[in-house]
């Protein structure tokens, strides 16, 4: 049987097309690629645990100026808002009545003293009785006491500053009547240098800190343990360091917190009573702290912190973490990560646990070892 040339050519063309089509499909088959991720290799480092505690400033000393005698204010001798010295005169109360009382007391003392001296000679000659002489002596002593009281009252007409500090506004003016024992203060003086800062810390945090120090997880920061730094309302750091004075001996039942008091130098009077501040207290040193970049820490549906690491087999592994606080751009890790772990910070959206990956140094983290200068701020706890 003979085939025509046209039929033979058609069969050859169909066979060639089928062969080429199979080759194209074979070449287009996708090749599986290993995903690449950026990692940070974690290392331990010494870290000073710092507590950020809210507080308010309080004057070092406060004195309310009140009159010791009754009378009319003749003069006010200070400028409101100025600094005054201890013993400086602030007011002058009308002294007329007290000057007259003092003169009468002086005259009475002179009379009783003369009578006492005369009776002293007469009792020796038995011209007067011993009882009359004793009465004269008693009157002389009473006159001396009356004179001293009159001198004190006259001195109290000059109202003096009991302490050095800054005096506030005056509640009385010239011509006002003041009285001894009145409840309203004429003025208030506050000593601002140094100045107190009262901060509060929860009793639970205090107990946890003590347990960690006792167990050796934390080491005491040393001689500077009582030093405190201050952050002002605008976020700037106060130029002078303070020292911790004492902690309250009881816990506030309504808030469950303990009050701590620190004292700060205030030579420029930049701190005023009642200002809201943050105190940074060095609590202890963690010599083997692990700081993980925040880019590598996420949270699951339950809100628990998690992280993905590359294990020794170059496969992704999920870790449940316990992160106590933030340190600058890092998390302070208590549990879940170990030294040498390769934490994934880049490409998290392209991988899942169990997948083999290729690890490269991360480019979205500035430093894998954050410096100690980063201030610690309280973070959300992931326990």
Indicate yes or no: pTM above 0.75: no
Residue 187 has pLDDT above 90, yes or no: yes
Q: Residues of CATH 2.40.50.100 domain(s) within the chain?
A: 68-93+157-184
Q: Are 195 and 268 in contact (CB under 8 A)?
A: no
Residue given tokens 């024992």 in the structure block? 181
Mean pLDDT of 137-161: 94
> What percentage of residues in the chain have a pLDDT greater than 90?
40
Q: Distance between CA 227 and CA 215 in Å, rounded? A: 23
Mean pLDDT of 141-169: 94
* pLDDT band per the 50, 70, 90 thresholds, residue 167: very high
Closest CA to 321 of 340, 342, 296: 296
* pLDDT band per the 50, 70, 90 thresholds, residue 56: very high
Q: Which CATH number fits domain 95-155: 1.10.3720.10, 3.60.150.10, 3.40.50.360, 1.10.287.470?
A: 1.10.287.470
| pLDDT at residue 213, rounded to an integer | 56
Q: Residue 291 half-sphere exposure, CB side, CA atoms within 13 Å?
A: 22
Q: What does pLDDT average to over the chain? A: 81
pLDDT in tens, 189-212: 999 999 999 888 877 777 776 666
| pLDDT at residue 9, rounded to an integer | 47
Residue 137 has pLDDT above 70, yes or no: yes
Pair of tokens at residue 368: 């894998």
| pLDDT at residue 214, rounded to an integer | 64
Among the residue ranges 26-35, 141-150, 267-276, the one predicted with the least confidence is: 26-35
Evaluate whether the domain defined by 68-93+157-184 bears CATH number 2.170.270.10.
no
Q: Distance between CA 340 and CA 47 in Å, rounded? A: 18
pLDDT in tens, 60-103: 999 999 999 999 999 999 999 999 999 999 999 999 999 999 99
pLDDT in tens, 271-314: 999 999 998 877 667 778 888 898 889 988 888 999 999 998 99
Q: Distance between CA 238 and CA 230 in Å, rounded? A: 5
Task: Determine the CATH number of domain 39-58+192-382.
Answer: 2.40.30.170
Q: Residues of CATH 2.40.30.170 domain(s) within the chain?
A: 39-58+192-382
Mean pLDDT of 164-175: 93
Q: Residues of CATH 1.10.287.470 domain(s) within the chain?
A: 95-155
* pLDDT band per the 50, 70, 90 thresholds, residue 128: confident
Q: Distance between CA 265 and CA 240 in Å, rounded? A: 7
């Amino acid at each position: 049987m003979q085939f025509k040339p046209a039929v033979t050519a058609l069969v050859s063309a169909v066979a060639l097309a089928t062969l080429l089509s199979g080759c194209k499909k074979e070449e287009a088959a996708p090749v599986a690629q290993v995903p690449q991720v950026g990692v940070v290799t974690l290392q331990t480092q010494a870290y000073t645990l710092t507590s950020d505690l809210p507080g308010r400033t309080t004057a070092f000393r406060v004195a309310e100026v009140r009159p010791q005698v009754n009378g009319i204010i003749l003069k006010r001798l200070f400028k409101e808002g100025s600094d005054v010295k201890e013993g400086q005169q602030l007011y002058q109360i009308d002294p007329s009545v007290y000057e007259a009382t003092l003169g009468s007391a002086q005259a009475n003392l002179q009379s009783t003293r003369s009578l006492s001296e005369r009776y002293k000679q007469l009792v020796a000659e038995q011209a007067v009785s011993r009882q009359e002489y004793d009465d004269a002596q008693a009157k002389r002593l009473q006159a001396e006491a009356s004179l001293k009281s009159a001198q004190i009252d006259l001195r109290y007409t000059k109202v003096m500053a009991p302490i050095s500090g800054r005096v506030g506004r005056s509640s009385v003016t010239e011509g006002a009547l003041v009285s001894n024992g009145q409840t309203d203060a004429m003025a208030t003086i506050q000593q601002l240098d140094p100045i107190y800062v009262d901060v509060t810390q929860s009793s639970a945090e205090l107990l946890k800190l003590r347990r960690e120090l006792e167990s050796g997880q934390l080491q005491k920061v040393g001689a500077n343990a009582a030093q405190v730094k201050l952050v002002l309302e605008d976020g700037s750091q106060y130029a002078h360091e303070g020292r911790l004075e004492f902690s309250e001996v009881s816990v506030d039942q309504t808030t469950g917190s303990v009050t701590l008091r620190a004292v700060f130098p205030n030579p420029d009077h930049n701190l005023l009573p009642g200002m809201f501040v943050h105190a940074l207290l060095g609590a202890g040193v963690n010599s083997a702290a692990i700081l993980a970049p925040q880019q590598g820490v996420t949270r699951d549906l339950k809100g628990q912190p998690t992280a993905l690491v590359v294990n020794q087999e170059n496969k992704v592994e999920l870790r449940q973490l316990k992160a106590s606080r933030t340190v600058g751009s890092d998390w302070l890790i208590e549990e879940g990560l170990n030294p040498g772990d390769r934490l994934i910070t880049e490409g998290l959206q392209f991988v899942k646990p169990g997948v083999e990956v290729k690890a490269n140094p991360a480019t979205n983290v500035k430093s894998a070892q954050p410096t100690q200068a980063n201030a610690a701020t309280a973070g959300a706890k992931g326990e």
